[in-house]
Chains A and B, each alone.
Chain A
Amino acid sequence: MIEFLQQLINGLAQGSIYALIAIGYTMVFGVLRFINFAHGDVYMLGAFAGFYTAPKLMGLFGGGPSYAGAALVLVSAMSICAVIGVLIERVCYRPLRQHPRLTVLITAIGVSLLLESGGQYVFGADPQAFPEIIADAAIEFPASWGIFSTLTITIGQVLVVGSTLVLLLVLRTVVLHTRTGMAMRALSLNPMAASLMGVNLDAILSFTFAIGSAMAGAAGVLTSIQQPSIDPLMGINAGLKAFVAAVLGGIGNIPGAALGGLLIGLLEALVVGYVNPTYRDPLVFAVLILVLLFKPSGLLGKPEREKV
């Protein structure tokens, strides 16, 4: 029982990371109807942005691990990723908006490969140790809690889940209660009608990419707090899992992406804990295939018919 609870906690922390990345997939899909393959690599860039800015920013707070410094690193990585996301959209996707979807898809794969191999070229292919920006340790529970005091919850895990919750709430406010958010929702319902009503398509798309990439950047830093080994190919696997999460929740649906991320994280933790770690990746793909076969619209998505 207590071990099961422990697996759930581990899964929740990993699932938060997937949820943050999945939101970027789902937001871009919502407005542009295409999968931004390079999104997982933006997450990788977020981790490296943290890696390179942390020594400077942590220096402002005495150099040692501190929460204020960590928050600053998180924000700077998010801003860097937002800029990168906007640039990718501007340079690679915008000129192709009227082209067949296959062309855009191939470009997206090209961008993803470029970020991976470019990352290997610039950062080096070997894994690097992410600096310690917070003092990560297990939280001590009082012995009076009985059996629950044997649970291992790290500060990193609490921070990851907490930051994810905060970011999701901010995102919810932006999407539901601002004019920009309304424009975004309008675009995803009907791009043509929205632009006729005066929605600035280019600006909203840039904004969408900025938000999605910032979320991925945050995920990159938050992962690195828990697993401080980062390498230029870390985005491939995480990106694919997050994509599965987005599809599971219903692609185009933001709460669905968060839910899907958590579910995938929990599934992984349970497979690792009770079955066999080598089956972790194949099983996630099996989930994807099953979802696409039996409920292509996902858990929270609405079915959509293709029209001529």
Chain B
Amino acid sequence: MRRLNPKILLILAVVLAAVANVFSSSINPYYYDILITIGINIILAVSLNLVIGYTGQFSLGHAGFMAVGAYFSAWVTLNFGFVLGATVPATTTVYVLALASGGLVAAATGLLVGVPSLRLRGDYLAIVTLGFSEIIKGVIQNAEPLGAQRGLGGIVQHTDIFWTFTGVALAVYGILALVHSTYGSGFLAVRDDEIAAEAMGINTTKYKVLAFVIGAFFAGLAGGLYAHFKQFIHPEGFNFLKSVDIVVMVILGGMGSTAGVCLAAVILTILPELLRAVSDYPWLPEPVRNLADNRMILYSVLLIVLMLNRPQGLFGKLNFGSRKS
């Protein structure tokens, strides 16, 4: 079967998002909220998948980059939102600029974090990235202009289905195009055997840092979308557990499988909502309801069982298109 050109798919996705956006007012607000959260989680998971799945570098600090993007873009719209006037195109311009700059600042942070820590590998890298995201959180908690411990509120709501899923399309397309290009095979080479890759003349440090920077850019973008959807952000919203959420999506979906990771992001966004519904059934015994309330138990058991029995993830073989990754 002849496959569609990925670029056409990208444009189709954006158009579809624009059409869906027209009907957004008729969607139940609860489902609307879930829909946007799914989009944001897909961006986060797909971008982390570039780092963990395609490049094989285990990062536990993705929420830190998301925080940088969220805070910077919120700061931009809060401080410069009225410079261009309050007309719709003007606020949209500020919004897009805020998202882009949030992503870029997150990418710069990624560079800052990546250059020193990517000399390490495996376990050390996991702890150092975790440490960096704690440092980012610590800086925000002490930064008065960003609301410090109180959180930052009063952000204009501007994220809708169109912007979210345009972001999703860009992230998925960008990362797939990158790793499937000739240049991008370097990522896979670094993952599969770093020493052999280096012997073949691949600059492994450059690829690792690049994966980190691009991953951080999209995480920052997701953070910007999130900030302009929830209208309130708090440092504790970007803690270690948020990073773990994203890691679980990548691992459940299968490291290095973009389609699987997207699917896992959808499932893991809906699952807590379903569990919440379960925990409301009065006829269930108390322990079961409490268990349903605590999704981390389920996640951790899922992680252990998956690693023991199916390390390639639930959907490890699944991928967009037929090309091998």
Interface residues in chain A, defined as those with a beta carbon under 8 Å from any beta carbon in chain B: 34-35, 92, 95-96, 99-107, 109-114, 116-118, 120-121, 236, 240, 243, 247, 278-279, 281-282, 285-286, 288-289, 292-293, 296, 306, 308
Contact = CB atoms under 8 A, between A and B. Distances in A.
A278 B307 contact: no
Contact of A92 (B56, B195, B297, B304): B304
Contacts of A101: 122-123
Interface in B181-234: 195
Given A106-B303, A114-B304, A285 B142 contact: no
B294 interface: yes
Contact of B128 (A92, A106, A288): A288
Q: Ordered nearest first, which 5 A-B pairs have the shortest CB separation?
A: A110-B303, A285-B131, A117-B296, A113-B300, A114-B300
Contact residues of B: prevailing secondary structure:
helix
Interface string B72-90: 0000000000000000000
Contacts, number: 112
B128 to A, nearest CB: 6
B291 interface: yes
A105 B303 contact: no
B116 interface: yes
A106 B134 contact: no
Nearest to A29: B123
A105 B122 contact: yes
B126 interface: yes
In the complex, which range does the number of interface residues on chain B fall in?
A: 35 or more
Given A101-B122, A278-B138, A279-B138, A110 B307 contact: yes
A116 B123 CA distance: 20
A114 B301 contact: yes
Contacts of A103: 307, 311
B300 A289 contact: no
A296 to B, nearest CB: 7
B159 interface: no
Given A109-B244, A236-B240, A292-B128, A282 B139 contact: yes
A109 B126 CA distance: 10
A226 B241 CA distance: 28
B135 interface: yes
Interface string B128-160: 101110110011011000000000000000000
A115 to B, nearest CB: 8
Given A99-B311, A118-B297, A279-B138, A111 B128 contact: no
B119 interface: yes
A248 to B, nearest CB: 13
Given A102-B122, A114-B300, A293 B195 contact: no
Contacts of B139: 282
B120 interface: yes
Which residue, of B56, B127, B128, has the highest number of chain A Cβ atoms within 10 A?
Answer: B127
B311 A111 contact: no
B308 interface: yes
B21 interface: no
Which residue, of A103, A279, A286, A306, has the highest number of chain B Cβ atoms within 10 A?
Answer: A103
Contacts of A278: 138, 141-142
B294 A121 contact: yes
Given A35-B126, A278-B138, 12 more contacts: A96-B308, A102-B122, A104-B307, A105-B122, A109-B247, A117-B296, A121-B297, A236-B240, A240-B127, A281-B134, A289-B117, A292-B117
Contacts of B60: 109
Contacts of A286: 135
A113 B296 contact: yes
B128 A306 contact: no
Contact of B127 (A117, A288, A293, A306): A288
